Chain A
Amino acid sequence: MSHTTVKQKRTALKVARSSKTLNVSSGVFRVNQSMTKTINPSFSGKSFSSGSDSKVLDKSLAQTPKHTVQVFDEHGQDITPHPLYNPDPGVLQPKQGKIFPAHEMSWTTMTDFPSVAFQTTNASFTGPFTRSFFGSASASRTSQTAESVTDETKDFIVKPDLSSSLTDVQTRREKVKEQVREDIMDRVVDCYLTETETIWLLDIPAVSVSVDSEDAEAVKERNNAYTELCKNRQGNDKYVERSMQTFNDAPKTKEVQSDSITMVDKAVMSTTWDMYDSFCNKSDVSENTVVSAEGNKATVPDSSSMSHLLNPSGTDQSMSVFSTTSTVSGSSTHLEKMTVLPVEEEPDLELILQSDKFKQDLAMMERVVLANIFQPKLAAYRQLPVIEGDEESWTEQTKNSLSPFLEHLWAFKCELTMGRNVSSMTWNKKNPDLLAVGYGQHEFKDQKPGLVCCWSLKNPTWPDRIFHCESGVTALDFSSCNANQLAVGMYDGTIAIYNVQTAEQTPITDSSDCANMHTCPVWQLRWVDHDTGLAGEEKGEMLISVSGDGRISKWIHYKGLECVDLMKLKSPNVTINRQQWNPKILSLAPGLCFDFHPNDSKIYLAGTEEGQIHKCSYSYNEQFLETYEAHTGPVYKVAWSPFCPDVFLSCSSDWTIYLWRQDLPKPVLGFSSGQKVVFDIMWSPHCATIFGVVREGKVEIWDLRVSSLDPTIVSLTSTGVNPTVLLFTPETDCVLVGDSEGHVTVYKLKNLPAGGSTQVETLEDVIWSTLSSQHTLGKTDGSA
């Protein structure tokens, strides 16, 4: 079929394409040739084949040169692809003539050759057969026409190389090739054939035998026998023709359905901490599974992407899984534990809420939340720069006034302390943020159970520690040696020492078992450190108390409190007039306050209810060193100046405050402003000339540099509320005022004249000038 089509198409075939096909077809031909001859292997490729085929092409072209395909595009232009190779038929014919007579015998078979050649792209079975004939024919002749064939083949080998590159100018090339041929003819060239990676030697043994070979006879016999057999085949009974038909069964489709294959993505992220945890937990795998269940719950980051099963009843084996979708971390030990553990939800809640850590976190969170609110106030307290907030009033207040005033920062108050009278306040010696406040009534009536609250600056809304006491608290002091010990003096004369580290309501020790306990309210307590230990006396800290029964006692904590009397405050009748001293009646004046000298801890002052101030010595417990009399009412407070060693202040309910020098029996200066009872005074720990005064209804700050007649700052409290206690802060310039409503207000001293030094000289100058003015004026009383 293809024969005919190819024959018709022979003329129409594109010349360019043919070179390819002919290349392929003549592969075998080429090899056969090369087996028996030494042909230049470089030319054994396509060039040779095309050479041999080109002669066929040339023949075809010579026969029908006119029938060519012409291609026109839409515009009618002739875009016929020109052939790459246009041999000159006139020049080539004689050369072709050379070859063709050499292959005369096989010429008849050659009629099929072009067709075969063209169709070799599709079917290659007949090709090799016919070609092998051609090859064998040529092989039979090779020995005779070896030289000429080589020459011609070489001739044609050379030609297509050049023709493939150029399309025009054939004649000149012919001449060149003529000369090359002449040269090559005289040379003997050794050619070696080897296989490469892409070129193989095809070995098909010949099916034809030479007449001269050894087994030609046998072959001839066999050939003859075969021809005889073929002749006998026609009517022979031995050979019967049969045909078979194969059944083509009808096709049948069969379907199979399977479950949908679900694809699950699983990812594991290995992180540094995960590896660390696995390594640490490796040793815990063998432990109790219940314990490890809780450990599972605890390791929050080890989560897998399984769904969470809520099972409140907890009876089934529900898996404790974590419903996070973000990260999946694999931990082999963890996954082991995960499988078999029953999980209960109920105790989870309780366990969490009751754990210690949760309580601590709660407390810290409370402080954090409050810190957000109180941050400007606390920053002002600590003298830090304030972060700008939205509060307008804050900045207004600071801009307006230039005169000294008390800036209200905040107030320690809560519902527990509502309505209670603040009786004493003290700072913790070690932690400057901890403030102990004692609540108790001063008067005899309205006595109710007392309260001690330890406030922290970080939480102004609720105290950190709350201790309920049986009777009203009247005195407080923190120990310096053991900063967690708080001594509390009460209205009924009991002294208790609390440990504020825990929240236990019971004190460490109590003086109620002591035989010598005070019978009247303990008005002041102080831990005094006797560094300069006397010979025979024990060193260390001692608790000293003064009480309304006229005794100043030293308490020792040794399996309970035991006291030793330091001094008995004898009533003035006895001391002034010693001859009238009646030993039977030993009346003691109730002591209200005392203060140890800051430098010499053996000297102390004591103020009594009868208006006298006694200077006593630690070593003398019978006699006073000196007595200062000026007050006409109970002396509520005496205070040594922290800067000037000889100066002290005293305040009393006779509306006056006196400044004394310890060597003068009469006060140097007196301060009074209004007819109000003075409850408390305190020297400022920063400036020698400043002290604070708490009167009924007023808080006053006196600055002796400015004036000794009037207070520099007067701050009125709300009506009905009396400030009762005053406390300066040891590190910042704030002052705390406790009042009868249970509030402890923190004020900041603003716009006070700042002094570089502690102004000790100023104070002394003031005193000296006052004294000298007194002298000049003659002996007058201290201004009252």
Chain B
Amino acid sequence: MLIVLQLYFSFHSNDRQTEEAPVLSDMAEVEDTLKRIQGINGVIGTIVVNAEGIPIKTTLDNSTTVQYAGLLHQLTMKARSTVRDIDPQNDLTFLRIRSKKHEIMVSTDKEYLLIVIQNPAE
């Protein structure tokens, strides 16, 4: 299985400078966005994991969710440790794993992990 790891250290600066950053106002917006992401063609599942590795929101079945959450939580911690070992003031923001069949995208934060699994070939 071919795995390509891409570590993003900073967000696209273009969008931040201008007025393009989208801002969602309340919980309904969050739900809407999550629904939209799930509805995109090729997206297999979306998981939101809290800081301890416990999935709090998911669109997949329980066993798969638990498996993804646990494994990706560990990998994210290792990746974050790597990034911060090199420079403690830096931090991990995004993690992308591309395999033969899927692409797993993890948006990381101290409080949570947002995991989206997509099949880019549709």
Q: Shortest Cβ distance from A730 into chain B, in angstroms?
A: 15
Smallest CB gap from A390: residue in B? B121
Q: How far is the CA of A275 from the CA of B89 in the complex (A)?
A: 12
A-contact 0/1 string along B47-64, CB 8 Å cutoff = 010111110110000000
Check if A323 sits within 8 Å of B53, measured CB to CB: yes
Smallest CB gap from A465: residue in B? B22
Check if A276 sits within 8 Å of B88, measured CB to CB: yes
Q: Shortest Cβ distance from B113 into chain A, in angstroms?
A: 9
Per the 8 Å Cβ criterion, residues 17-42 of B in contact with A are: 18-27, 29-30, 33-34, 36-37, 40-42
Check if B18 sits within 8 Å of A434, measured CB to CB: yes
Check if A324 sits within 8 Å of B53, measured CB to CB: yes
Q: Report which of B18, B25, B54 forms a contact with A430, defined as CB distance below 8 A.
A: B18
Check if B88 sits within 8 Å of A277, measured CB to CB: yes
Cβ of A716 within 8 Å of any chain B Cβ, yes or no, is no
Q: Which residues of B contact A308 (CB under 8 A)?
A: 52, 54
Q: Report which of B26, B88, B111, B116 forms a contact with A352, defined as CB distance below 8 A.
A: B111
Check if A369 sits within 8 Å of B81, measured CB to CB: no
Q: Which residues of A contact B36 (CB under 8 A)?
A: 366, 461-462
Q: Shortest Cβ distance from B11 into chain A, in angstroms?
A: 7
Check if A464 sits within 8 Å of B112, measured CB to CB: no
Q: Which residues of B contact A300 (CB under 8 A)?
A: 51-52, 77, 80, 110
Per the 8 Å Cβ criterion, residues 322-353 of A in contact with B are: 322-324, 326-327, 348-349, 351-353
Cβ of A299 within 8 Å of any chain B Cβ, yes or no, is yes
Q: How far is the CA of A368 from the CA of B6 in the complex (A)?
A: 13
B-contact 0/1 string along A498-536, CB 8 Å cutoff = 011111000000000000000000000000000000000
Q: Which residues of A contact B78 (CB under 8 A)?
A: 326
Cβ of B43 within 8 Å of any chain A Cβ, yes or no, is yes
Cβ of B65 within 8 Å of any chain A Cβ, yes or no, is no
Per the 8 Å Cβ criterion, residues 379-426 of A in contact with B are: 389-390
Check if A358 sits within 8 Å of B18, measured CB to CB: no
Check if B112 sits within 8 Å of A322, measured CB to CB: no
Check if B18 sits within 8 Å of A363, measured CB to CB: no
Per the 8 Å Cβ criterion, residues 705-733 of A in contact with B are: none
Q: List 20 A-B contacts (CB under 8 A).
A: A272-B85, A272-B86, A297-B51, A297-B52, A297-B111, A299-B110, A300-B51, A300-B110, A322-B51, A355-B111, A362-B33, A365-B37, A365-B107, A369-B118, A372-B42, A372-B120, A434-B20, A461-B36, A503-B22, A503-B25
Check if B77 sits within 8 Å of A359, measured CB to CB: no
Check if B30 sits within 8 Å of A359, measured CB to CB: yes
Q: How far is the CA of A243 from the CA of B54 in the complex (A)?
A: 85
Supplied contacts A308-B54, A348-B56, A369-B43, 11 more A-B pairs, CB within 8 Å: A326-B74, A349-B50, A354-B27, A354-B30, A360-B21, A369-B116, A370-B40, A373-B41, A456-B20, A461-B40, A465-B22
Cβ of A86 within 8 Å of any chain B Cβ, yes or no, is no
Check if B40 sits within 8 Å of A373, measured CB to CB: yes
Check if A369 sits within 8 Å of B40, measured CB to CB: yes
Check if B81 sits within 8 Å of A273, measured CB to CB: yes
Q: Shortest Cβ distance from B21 into chain A, in angstroms?
A: 7
Interface size on A, residues (CB 8 A): 62
Q: Which residues of B contact A501 (CB under 8 A)?
A: 19
A-contact 0/1 string along B66-102, CB 8 Å cutoff = 0000000110011011001110110000101000000
Check if B111 sits within 8 Å of A359, measured CB to CB: no
Q: How far is the CA of A301 from the CA of B83 in the complex (A)?
A: 12
Cβ of A190 within 8 Å of any chain B Cβ, yes or no, is no
Check if B57 sits within 8 Å of A349, measured CB to CB: yes
Closest 7 CB pairs of A and B: A273-B84, A276-B88, A501-B19, A431-B18, A298-B110, A359-B24, A484-B19
Q: Report which of A324, A354, A355, A430 forms a contact with B73, defined as CB distance below 8 A.
A: A324
Check if A359 sits within 8 Å of B81, measured CB to CB: no
Q: Which residues of B contact A366 (CB under 8 A)?
A: 33, 36-37, 40
Smallest CB gap from B21: residue in A? A360
Q: How far is the CA of A373 from the CA of B121 in the complex (A)?
A: 8
Cβ of A433 within 8 Å of any chain B Cβ, yes or no, is yes
Check if A503 sits within 8 Å of B23, measured CB to CB: yes
Smallest CB gap from A358: residue in B? B112
Q: Which residues of A contact B74 (CB under 8 A)?
A: 324, 326
Q: How far is the CA of A484 from the CA of B20 in the complex (A)?
A: 9
Cβ of A428 within 8 Å of any chain B Cβ, yes or no, is yes
Cβ of A176 within 8 Å of any chain B Cβ, yes or no, is no
Q: Report which of A276, A349, A369, A433 forms a contact with B56, defined as CB distance below 8 A.
A: A349
Q: Which residues of A contact B56 (CB under 8 A)?
A: 348-349, 352
Q: How far is the CA of A357 from the CA of B40 in the complex (A)?
A: 22
Q: Shortest Cβ distance from B52 into chain A, in angstroms?
A: 5
Check if B48 sits within 8 Å of A353, measured CB to CB: yes
Per the 8 Å Cβ criterion, residues 481-501 of A in contact with B are: 483-484, 499-501
Smallest CB gap from A457: residue in B? B20
Q: Which residues of B contact A456 (CB under 8 A)?
A: 20, 22
